[in-house]
């Protein structure tokens, strides 16, 4: 411990006694202004944390059903026979979206590499790659209280229509309508849960060609699930990072 002269008492002469200041090793004593700036900085950081947007969260969406009929004659989807279980799954980011009809629809951008439509018989397809220029695949929430709520997959955040898949020229379509009290907002994190046939007002779970009415495969809808990405299902961009450490 050392005694130091006070910085504001450096006058020399009789009766002037240096004021001892105690300094302990590894302890920083702030001046008045340093202390004030420290408080202001701490307060500013706390304020920014309060107003900062919520952290983006990956979300897993999946829908299941059974094949009602299949008129596709070319592989691999010609192998999906009636009665097989069909599952479509993909990931979206809770902060990556486009509002379609203001207040009524919000389209969350689908992670194209995560999209897979598979069948219990072994056949599976993804999205068309490369995806058509100028188009984006969306999973859209519809919150039209009190009229109707719902979900659809489309290249538009405003209306259904499906998305092109790797087996051209087919398009995959999922369009679900529910009663108007199903959703409370367009926030996908608030929509976590399982949606079955209760409250269902319409559904389209199909593969079509050229025009929506030219259905080549119809799937009887069973349920839709929205939830967290399970541990072990990694974002696609992690593969490149992990490769650096091999």
pLDDT tens, position by position, 168-205: 999 999 999 999 999 999 999 999 999 999 999 999 99
The confidence score (pLDDT) of residue 111 equals 98
Q: Is 169 left (phi over 0), alpha (psi -120 to 50) or beta?
A: alpha
- Among residues 206, 157, 192, 198, which one has the least CA distance to residue 178? 198
> According to the model, what pLDDT value does residue 232 have?
62
pLDDT at 146: 74
Boundaries of every domain in the chain? 2-51, 58-230
CA distance 5 to 190: 63
Measured CA to CA, the distance from residue 56 to residue 58 in angstroms comes to 7
Please count the other Cβ atoms lying within 10 Å of the Cβ belonging to residue 141.
26
Report yes or no on whether pTM surpasses 0.95.
no
- The pLDDT tens digits of the residues spanning 151-160 come to 999 999 999 9
d(CA 203, CA 198): 12
Confidence at residue 144, expressed as pLDDT on a 0 to 100 scale:
87
Contacts of 185 by beta carbon, 8 Å cutoff, 6+ apart: 143, 191
What does the pLDDT read at residue 231?
A: 75
């Amino acid at each position: 411990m050392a005694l130091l002269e006070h910085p504001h008492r450096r006058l020399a002469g009789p009766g002037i006694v240096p004021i001892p200041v105690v300094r302990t090793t590894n302890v920083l004593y702030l001046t008045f202004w340093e202390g004030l700036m420290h408080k202001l900085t701490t307060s500013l950081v706390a304020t920014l944390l309060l107003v900062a947007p919520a952290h983006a969260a990956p979300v897993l969406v999946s829908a299941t059903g059974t094949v009602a009929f299949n008129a596709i004659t070319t592989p691999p989807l010609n192998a999906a026979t009636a009665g097989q279980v069909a599952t479509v799954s993909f990931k979206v980011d809770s902060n990556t979206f486009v509002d379609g009809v203001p207040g009524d629809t919000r389209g969350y951008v689908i992670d194209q590499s995560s999209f897979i439509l598979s069948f219990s018989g072994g056949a599976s397809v993804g999205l068309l790659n490369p995806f058509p220029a100028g188009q984006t695949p969306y999973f859209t929430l519809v919150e039209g209280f009190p009229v109707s709520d719902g979900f659809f997959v489309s290249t538009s955040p405003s209306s259904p229509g499906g998305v092109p898949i790797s087996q051209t020229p087919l398009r995959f379509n999922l369009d679900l309508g529910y009663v108007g009290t199903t959703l409370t907002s367009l926030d996908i994190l608030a929509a976590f849960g399982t949606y079955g046939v209760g409250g269902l007002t319409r559904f389209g779970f199909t593969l079509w060609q050229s025009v929506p009415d030219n259905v080549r495969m119809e799937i009887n809808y069973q349920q839709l699930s929205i939830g967290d990405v399970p541990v072990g299902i990694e974002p696609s961009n992690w593969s490149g990072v992990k490769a650096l450490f091999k």
